[in-house]
Structure 1
């Protein structure tokens, strides 16, 4: 594969952005002033919350720089803005008020300056400003823009991420056909997530002086590999050594079929002076990602999976002594994933984020003893961790509250909210109670199931119930907050929500997590039925009005249960689900997933695991479908193609099953555009209300 020209331009004329310029570009999308009726969350209320993104603590630990994204439903747009406050939450200031997109804020120059990305000039570039928001200035002019950056500790250099072209364009091969739209494909991984792979991210390093960048170097010059890795890798996959002499980056140096079947990424060191690259994790066969140097530069910590091809393997925390090369498996005695981590200043301790029994908490890890000790507890999820002044600074959410920033005491885990970004909305809402219930499964194990009750729940009344099926498939049903699968909004519409942590979810040990692979139509489906059966026995649940919903693997679960539910449910809704496993094996892009979880290709007749998988594909049970079903899907979904949803809808129609389909031509595996999100929610409840509520108007057309 030939790497095309990168097309980088150096910044010649620094573009000054005055306070007046930044604040008079038309009315910017800002904090919502919504008034909530009846105290109930609606789709419009859901899209009114400010969404907290990056959180950066200043070098002197006195201030917090953070990003908040606001939504305007009418404009069908989002708008990130930047804020700063003291670490106790006082003196909060909004630094940017524009229609441009400001993101990725960072402290530089010892806290005397703030750097960030803005697309005000037409492409996403690095800008700098004073900590009070004044003196905004663009410092890069990189063709087609950048997607992330991080300055060296001495601020003399900057790393940034930019997409580069791969392969040869049709217009280069056939210059006489400038309007030809065809793509020529010679290998696998020609599409990924929601894009055709015509460009990939590379990491660049440049000198920084006098507010200008120069001497730009591609760390992977002429290499057709991603760094960071698609589809979700970002600046967290890169790191500077404290002395600024070494860059650590994450890459899976494979292409085509080799890339499609392997998860074997590595951590590479790039010597800034010589340009030499060294593979630091060679021989470690799974994902190795997210390097962080210790404060004194003597060690490297990173997240690592053991087995090649298994993307849901245990996410382990490793530390390497850079003088000796010795590796320590820090979480060896901790049977849970490491979701995020940060070094303590003592170079001996790390603070990490991990999900244990469907609640994501903060822990401390001692490198020498491998002792993992809990810091926090409670019914919530922590989503990030940073080092404050004797405290931890972390984002936290729950099923009843979106992300807010908290200050956490190291001694007792006491957490104090300091951002209050959404207090003005939350104080208008009445949330339903969330209950942690342990339910016995068919094989005699205990399964944590979240029950979310309608606001003002009355146990003397009866309610319809929705079984929520999780995607992933290996993604915990924790105390998550979602802008699509918001369980509190389901409850606010009068439904009791049943959300089981069925087999195949992390947070309950590796054995529980791994059981699902090769057993898609097996024990985890029994777990779902155990959960809904247990709740159906409650006097306040109307067992004649049960619904079932989910997305991705949860959508697969809906399709499977539609043919195997023994008339338990009265309505189904599946989003982005797998309907035909044989087709899915040849339609998806990340073949390592299909090979591991399905067991291999359907044509391998001697592979017992694979044959069992395909024998339990949902499409094989369509003859048993007897219940109304709605299907939604995005046509830009290259993980699970929209054809899966169309097949399911066509099958339902041909069988005479009441059915409806909602297709989004401009969405991928998610639903990201505000008005599409509102449409999804409205149709979601219109469908279930029609079939599960007394007097619901039945319309089979």
Structure 2
């Protein structure tokens, strides 16, 4: 009897110890995770160099350090040990690293020691620094004053003026007011750190390279022979800039100082130029339609010897996210959305098929994850970044023979090993027009089908952004599920990964079929016995926030609570204050005063959430960034004020220093605490 009692007590002790060792994902734990940044492969192909960012919540700042790990995996080596904001410029054949910090170039060995300051001259305010392949030139971008907009620039005797004077659009963009400065490309002679003969290759041009707000080093590259620079630029100003997406690739000849347009007549976005290592071919991403920022993204390739240009993905029914040439130039590897995921594909340029033939394209990887970034190739192995809804980005190797993947880095292993993971199911739903719609369903880690759970409908932004296996540090499904919620995240109309037509169908129909798709999704999951139909919530940001405001007026009692972040509430006032008008013109169908434009009038009338406020009757939380010029402040304030005046239980979370995202660590933690506090209170 004593032995039996001992065994039972021992079993209980082991079970309790196991339970105590397991953690629950919380906002605080999420912000302790390391975040994988840029990655490089050493010249000998034996090590991966990468950055990891950690956040210090108490000091509200980040610290990014550099690490090295063998390509076969194993324990990483920390190369740096303190925050320094380094930009890795080049990994040398001997393993040493050239980096840019505090306006100077430095070099350190592969262990982070033997640091040498290379540059004798400060490259003040430089960004996107690159050294030419032959090591004789250096290129970077820098903000330069071009147009006099500020009062102190217009009137020399008024140096303390903070006035702005505008006579044209664009007067602000994303989260910044236009101040007359533009990001230009500079080139200079370079000799082992010594920089001389610095030259602005875009002198006096009121245009930006990289493209704002999110362009980077991919917008400016050296040619393999170091004789020219290719850069991406939209050479339009004022209203022409605000209504167009027509960027072009420009080639600047360093010796002659002449510039030529390589994509003349190609009217949409042309971005991400890349050469083969041999320098005989140039490829880039290209959209066809001017003003359509979510058009199909194709890979176009040009033979620089013959001048022949081919659209390699023209007949492929999907859009491309990013690409890279193989080392021998015979293949192109690319990432694209596919059925609610992002996968790796390849095009074999040696296959003699019709230009743009989909038969030349092969899917390399396949699984419930996102391949996010192609790092480099060595032999028959490709290195990529990969994430899923339970794991933040890590580096993986991919076999180009069979698509098998092996994890190389384990940045957050200590956390995930003690964290119960969520079950993620792929669910297929019939829409009101009898089409098949994929949705991701994420369950609490301890899901018990015999119980009933509150359930959240997640409304994706974009509106033409893929809803895949991406790991977000704000809209984190793992975190939501860990608080006891089931989440259904449908790939409604407008999302890439399900064919070009599915992606296009949302333009001009924001409040139509996509909203019906959302209702189909929540109605479908609500049939399950484990869903508490009396506790359904709806959350989303941007177009997802718009969807929340729309659904608040048409949900017919389905939802018990709503949360909208930076959502579009009144489309007329939004059209009058947003900045990238090409987006509004395409997705609304035009402006609101053209009474003969039936598509636009439908958008501003029938599909305008502010026109449905009379039907609002459900608690709603509104979140609004003060520096969001894409969906400006009046949108959130208008929605909150309407709810308050109607006597609806409501809350406003105002973030004065945040743009369309939430970037400051303590603000992000407030966001998550208020988010889950509201759900606990109202759901």
**Contact 1:139 1:213 survives alignment (8 Å):** no
Which residue pairs with 2:365 in the alignment? 376
**Contact 1:406 1:418 survives alignment (8 Å):** yes
Which residue pairs with 1:170 in the alignment? 151
Which residue pairs with 1:656 in the alignment? 647
Which residue pairs with 1:116 in the alignment? 99
- The correspondence for 1:42, drawn from 19, 26, 39, is 26
- The correspondence for 1:83, drawn from 64, 67, 80, is 67
Deviation at 1:130, TM superposition (A): 2.0
Give the whole-Å Cα distance in 2 for the aligned partners of 1:57 and 1:210: 22
**Contact 1:108 1:155 survives alignment (8 Å):** no
Note if 1:238 corresponds to 2:217: no
Unaligned runs of 5+ in 2: 1-18
Which residue pairs with 2:133 in the alignment? 153
Do the aligned partners of residues 220 and 428 (structure 1) sit closer, same or farther apart at CA in structure 2, a change above 3 Å counting?
Answer: same
- The correspondence for 2:35, drawn from 51, 62, 80, is 51
Structure 1 stretch displaced more, 236-245 or 481-490: 236-245
Q: How does 1:261-410 map to 2 (within 5 A)?
A: 261-367=243-349, 368=351, 369=353, 370=357, 371-390=360-379, 391-410=381-400
Structure 1 stretch displaced more, 636-645 or 58-67: 58-67
* CA deviation string 1:588-619 (max 9, x = no partner): 00010000000110000000110010112000
Secondary structure, in 3 states, of the residue corresponding to 1:172? helix
Give the whole-Å Cα distance in 2 for the aligned partners of 1:330 and 1:630: 46
Which residue pairs with 2:6 in the alignment? none
Structure 1 stretch displaced more, 657-666 or 203-212: 203-212
Secondary structure, in 3 states, of the residue corresponding to 2:93? helix
Give the whole-Å Cα distance in 2 for the aligned partners of 1:211 and 1:457: 58
TM-score by length of 1: 0.91
TM-score by length of 2: 0.94
Give the whole-Å Cα distance in 2 for the aligned partners of 1:210 and 1:36: 56
Secondary structure, in 3 states, of the residue corresponding to 1:101? coil
**Contact 1:357 1:448 survives alignment (8 Å):** yes
**Contact 1:67 1:105 survives alignment (8 Å):** no
Secondary structure, in 3 states, of the residue corresponding to 2:318? coil
- The correspondence for 1:100, drawn from 68, 78, 84, is 84
**Contact 2:92 2:98 survives alignment (8 Å):** no
Give the whole-Å Cα distance in 2 for the aligned partners of 1:178 and 1:663: 33
Deviation at 1:142, TM superposition (A): 4.4
Give the whole-Å Cα distance in 1 for the aligned partners of 2:456 and 2:448: 17
Give the whole-Å Cα distance in 2 for the aligned partners of 1:593 and 1:637: 15
Deviation at 1:94, TM superposition (A): 1.2
Which residue pairs with 2:200 in the alignment? 218
Give the whole-Å Cα distance in 2 for the aligned partners of 1:348 and 1:210: 33
Secondary structure, in 3 states, of the residue corresponding to 2:576? helix
Which residue pairs with 2:107 in the alignment? 128
Give the whole-Å Cα distance in 2 for the aligned partners of 1:258 and 1:358: 35
Give the whole-Å Cα distance in 1 for the aligned partners of 2:289 and 2:140: 30
Give the whole-Å Cα distance in 2 for the aligned partners of 1:215 and 1:134: 31
Give the whole-Å Cα distance in 2 for the aligned partners of 1:164 and 1:232: 18
Secondary structure, in 3 states, of the residue corresponding to 1:200? strand
Which residue pairs with 2:622 in the alignment? 631
* CA deviation string 1:550-570 (max 9, x = no partner): 000000000000011001000
**Contact 2:53 2:63 survives alignment (8 Å):** yes
Secondary structure, in 3 states, of the residue corresponding to 1:385? strand
Give the whole-Å Cα distance in 2 for the aligned partners of 1:85 and 1:254: 45
Give the whole-Å Cα distance in 2 for the aligned partners of 1:454 and 1:313: 36
Do the aligned partners of residues 593 and 139 (structure 1) sit closer, same or farther apart at CA in structure 2, a change above 3 Å counting?
Answer: farther
Q: How does 1:170-209 map to 2 (within 5 A)?
A: 170-198=151-179, 199-209=181-191
- The correspondence for 1:438, drawn from 428, 431, 435, is 428
Which residue pairs with 2:566 in the alignment? 576
**Contact 2:108 2:114 survives alignment (8 Å):** yes
Deviation at 1:36, TM superposition (A): 9.0
Count of aligned residue pairs for this structure pair: 653
Structure 1 stretch displaced more, 264-273 or 521-530: 264-273
Give the whole-Å Cα distance in 2 for the aligned partners of 1:682 and 1:283: 50
**Contact 2:42 2:95 survives alignment (8 Å):** no
**Contact 2:133 2:224 survives alignment (8 Å):** yes
Secondary structure, in 3 states, of the residue corresponding to 1:384? strand
Which residue pairs with 2:508 in the alignment? 518
* CA deviation string 1:244-300 (max 9, x = no partner): 112111101111111000000001111111111110010000000010011111110
**Contact 1:295 1:345 survives alignment (8 Å):** yes
Deviation at 1:646, TM superposition (A): 0.3
Give the whole-Å Cα distance in 1 for the aligned partners of 2:623 and 2:569: 12
Deviation at 1:425, TM superposition (A): 1.0
Give the whole-Å Cα distance in 2 for the aligned partners of 1:136 and 1:528: 56
**Contact 2:326 2:377 survives alignment (8 Å):** no
Deviation at 1:315, TM superposition (A): 0.8
Deviation at 1:108, TM superposition (A): 4.2
* CA deviation string 1:662-681 (max 9, x = no partner): 00111000001111111000
**Contact 2:97 2:108 survives alignment (8 Å):** yes
Secondary structure, in 3 states, of the residue corresponding to 2:158? coil
**Contact 2:545 2:564 survives alignment (8 Å):** yes
Give the whole-Å Cα distance in 1 for the aligned partners of 2:123 and 2:191: 20
Structure 1 stretch displaced more, 439-448 or 160-169: 160-169
Deviation at 1:111, TM superposition (A): 4.5
Secondary structure, in 3 states, of the residue corresponding to 1:563? helix
Secondary structure, in 3 states, of the residue corresponding to 1:473? coil
Give the whole-Å Cα distance in 1 for the aligned partners of 2:118 and 2:569: 49
Which residue pairs with 1:698 in the alignment? none
Which residue pairs with 2:418 in the alignment? 428
Unaligned runs of 5+ in 1: 1-34, 693-701
**Contact 1:239 1:293 survives alignment (8 Å):** no
Give the whole-Å Cα distance in 2 for the aligned partners of 1:72 and 1:36: 26
Do the aligned partners of residues 639 and 314 (structure 1) sit closer, same or farther apart at CA in structure 2, a change above 3 Å counting?
Answer: same
